[in-house]
Amino acid sequence: MVTQSKRRALGARASRPAALLLAPVLLRQGARVRKRTPVLPEAAGERSGREGAADDRTPLRLLIVGESTAAGVGVAHQGEGIARRLAADIARRHGRAVTWAVSARTGATASATGRELVRTVGGDQDLVVVILGVNDTVRLHSRRHWRGQMTRILDILQPRLAADGQIVLAGVPGLGAFPALPQPLRAVLGWHARALDDELRSLAARRSGVLHVPSPALSDAAFAEDGFHPNADAYARWAHHLADSVVLPPTAGCRDPHHSL
């Protein structure tokens, strides 16, 4: 009997061979999806802010790095996006101030993020959430390439953490549930997303201070009008899901209050 975990592993290994076999069909479907899917802008508004106690002189520092979902595509304003939502959730749960910032752009892959987006990250970050994988999935980047680029990102980010700081690798979402994608394109990309997510889980397991948080389950009601990005309610649920998984050490944010934020 083939268990669910074995089916998952078989599907993950089969994603690229299946894509090669079905290439003519997948290329046509991909072209149609690109033509008919509306291109939504990144969320408007400032890409940094503060939530929580106004008199807290040593706020926790939160940074969101990654692709279009990190940039808030699918909602109108950054206030509805993952960064501000997560900051507000953490501040409320822990009675702390949280400063948040976003370093993200639409279309970013792991390699582009390693070259561009994380190079300017400052030090003393308490919590860095890395949101990547959809663009690497649709490009069918190999597991080896993905693992190497994500390792590079972690190598850059970890020295920039505060004492007891943490990096969260947000799970690659299940593209097999994206309503914008037709079959068999949806199935192949779903398999490949699971393969890349398995690599994230393995990377996190081998590194201290790195946590993998699987993507929450998705339904059609979770998507914006493009059928590809979260809507406001989905961002709120995702932030709550991430906040549930993050355990902040007691020293998080307890730096010199005169240190530049």
State pLDDT tens for residues 60-90.
999 999 999 999 999 999 999 999 999 999 9
The amino acid at residue 3 is: T
How many Å apart are CA 87 and CA 93, to the nearest integer?
10
Closest by CA to 227, choosing from 186, 193, 187, is 186
Please answer whether residues 155 and 114 qualify as being in contact, where contact means their C-beta atoms are separated by less than 8 angstroms: no
Please answer whether residues 238 and 80 qualify as being in contact, where contact means their C-beta atoms are separated by less than 8 angstroms: no
How many Å apart are CA 237 and CA 164, to the nearest integer?
26
pLDDT digits (tens, 9 = 90+) for 82-133: 999 999 999 999 889 999 999 999 999 999 999 999 988 999 999 999 999 9
pLDDT digits (tens, 9 = 90+) for 193-205: 999 999 999 999 9
pTM of the model: 0.89
Cis ω before 179 (30° cut-off from 0): no
pLDDT band at 31 (very low <50, low <70, confident <90, very high): confident
pLDDT digits (tens, 9 = 90+) for 138-163: 999 999 999 999 999 999 999 999 99
Closest by CA to 261, choosing from 60, 52, 51, 46, is 60
Looking at residues 240-249, what average pLDDT do you find? 89
How many Å apart are CA 163 and CA 183, to the nearest integer?
47
Whether 3 shows a pLDDT value over 90: the answer reads: no
CA dihedral angle for residue 234, residue 235, residue 236, residue 237, rounded to 10 degrees: 50
How many Å apart are CA 201 and CA 234, to the nearest integer?
23
How far is CA 192 from its chain centroid? 16
How many Å apart are CA 86 and CA 176, to the nearest integer?
25
Fold topology of 4-36+48-245: Rossmann fold (3.40.50)
> Six-digit token pair at 165?
């700081």
How many Å apart are CA 239 and CA 125, to the nearest integer?
18
